[in-house]
Amino acid sequence: MAVELRGFSWERMIEAVQAVRDRALRATAALEKAGIPYAMAGGNAVAAWVARVDRAAVRNTQDVDILVRRSDLPAITTALEAAGFVPATVMDVVCFIDGPSGSPRDAVHLLFAGEKVRESYPLPTADVSERVPADDYAIVTLEALVRMKLNSFRRKDQTHLLDMIELGLIDTSWLPRLIPEHAARLKELIDDPDG
């Protein structure tokens, strides 16, 4: 199948980044208004931590991953529907698509606190209490974020971890406080960042 290429456009690139930011702000504002505990996770959390050191090192992400408690799902659904999101489940992930004509790429993905995303993961996700306030929304703590990234350890997670290593957010001093499997993964990245 041939891919249709459009012209190069700074505007489209900027609009893509702005759409993710707007989606994150709308979703978290709805959760705040409803009094539902949450923490921004995933690539947006990484970007927030990285930006504290070097904004030039920030990577854009299309995902809006929010850590919540499963017991709050009915209230979350009500709050996010009121903000224009449509509930869906895509590949076993509970998400909220941005409007009736949106796509799963334009969605808020929920991570459930204290649950394993995949059974093969060594640890469950963090709890929503493991968060810090930021200008726009609450973000998972650096410790929780690193655990979650080491847990999933997909290529993009490794890239996020390498960014944090390069900026000095994480280093070998973290190894003793991690479970052995996570420590081995982090040491691998520190010892051989180019793979």
Question: What is the residue range of 64's domain?
Answer: 12-141
**Would you say residue 113 lies in a domain?**
yes
Task: Please write the tens of the pLDDT for every residue from 93-107.
Answer: 899 999 988 888 889
Spell 48-61 as b/e; 16+ CB within 10 A means b.
bbbeeeeeeebeeb
Residue 103 lies in a domain: yes
Q: Write the pLDDT tens digit of every residue in 11-52.
A: 988 998 999 999 999 999 999 999 999 999 999 999 999 999
Asked if the structure places residue 19 within a domain, the reply is yes
pLDDT at 159 over 80: yes
Residue 168 lies in a domain: no
Whether 124 maps to a domain, the answer reads: yes
Q: What is the pTM of this model?
A: 0.92
In a domain? residue 98? yes
For the chain, what is the domain count? Answer: 1
The CATH number assigned to the domain holding 82 equals: 3.30.460.40
